[in-house]
Amino acid sequence: MAIAVPGYQSPLPSRLRWTNWAKDAEGITGEDLIDFVNNELFPSLKKLATAAGVPPHGKVVGSVFEDAYNYMKSRTLLRQVINTIEADVDFNSSTDRHLFNDIYEKILSDLQSAGNAGEYYTPRAVTQLMVDVLNPQLGELILDSACGTGGFLTCAIEHLKQQVNNADDLRTLQASIHGVEKKPLPHMLAMTNMMLHGIDVPTRIRHNNTLSRPLKDYGPRDRVDIVVTNPPFGGMEEDGIDTTFRANTRRVKRLISSWR
């Protein structure tokens, strides 16, 4: 399942790389596999977020796994899933990557009918319409301050890709996409979504709460050109958030409205 990128160096220790623990279908199995995933793989990946000397793409891995846990308890099913990925998914194939993008988008859209998880996802038709109306241009900074799974940002990425003509343009695009999400699950999904859409090191997708930062602390360096977002307007913030905004309320809708 390795991706061929010239000059790429993995930020992972050798023992944690897919080729060294998952690739061999007859390799680590049973309780040893569950024990490795739960007690070595996941804890080690989480530590990358704060470890010294780790390159940016390693920090991204750590951020993605920061609040991730393995919920698959069946050692047989886990081995079967790993073997299927190894045998049938080729991330060096553009066809497979596009298919994986489509599958991932379908999973995210299913969140709409998954109870409270629906707040993480805005329908593609809505995100596409808003991005088309805003018509972002290459070089403009784009922010979703409550990005959920990253639907607005992926539409913005695809919009900007049409303006990319060379490597410099691509680097500009990579630096243009900014997002903030306070909940761990949608943040992890957003990070994955960014990478699937070509943002190789999505360090600008932060796991944080936009509203927890006092309004007075924002300055010129925080300015962006476009803000496109659909926050959970029915939500409530914790005590104390209202004291940092002009709106004396804990309701997200009114707090967001005062954030301008």
Mean pLDDT within 133-148: 95
E strand or H helix at 252? helix 252-257
- Looking at residue 120, what is its pLDDT? 59
- Looking at residue 166, what is its pLDDT? 95
Q: What angle do CA 210, 198, 150 make, to 5 degrees?
A: 30
Print burial letters for 92-122: b (CB count within 10 Å at least 16), e (below 16).
eeeeebeeeeeebbeebeebeeeeebebbbb
Architecture of domain 14-88: Up-down Bundle (1.20)
- Looking at residue 56, what is its pLDDT? 85
- Looking at residue 174, what is its pLDDT? 94
Residue with the bigger pLDDT between 190 and 238: it is: 190
Q: How far apart are CA 260 and CA 254, in angstroms?
A: 11
Q: Could you check whether 14-88 and 94-257 share the same CATH topology?
A: no
Residue with the bigger pLDDT between 257 and 17: it is: 17
Q: How confident is the model at residue 118 (pLDDT cuts 50, 70, 90)?
A: very low
Q: How far apart are CA 182 and CA 145, in angstroms?
A: 10
Query: Which residues, 6+ apart, have CB-to-CB distance to 213 below 8 Å?
Result: 244
Residue 119 near residue 232, CB atoms below 8 Å: yes
Query: Which residues, 6+ apart, have CB-to-CB distance to 87 below 8 Å?
Result: 25
Q: How confident is the model at residue 172 (pLDDT cuts 50, 70, 90)?
A: very high
The proportion of the chain whose per-residue pLDDT surpasses 90, expressed as a percent, equals: 38
The yes-or-no verdict on residue 54 having pLDDT over 90 is no
Residue 138 near residue 169, CB atoms below 8 Å: yes
Q: Could you tell me the residue ranges of all domains in the chain?
A: 14-88, 94-257
Q: Is the pTM of this model over 0.85?
A: no
CA distances from 106 to 54, 123, 196 (A): 33, 11, 14
DSSP annotation of 59: H
120-124, 126-130, 132-136, 160-164: segment of lowest average pLDDT: 120-124
Write out the two tokens for 50. 């704060």
Could you tell me where the DSSP H helices lie in 26-166? Answer: 30-36, 42-47, 56-65, 75-88, 94-110, 124-134, 151-161
- What are the tens digits of pLDDT across the range 34-53? 999 999 999 999 998 888 88
Architecture of domain 94-257: 3-Layer(aba) Sandwich (3.40)
Residue 163 near residue 142, CB atoms below 8 Å: no
Residue 63 near residue 49, CB atoms below 8 Å: yes
Helices and strands (H and E) in the chain: how many: 11, 4
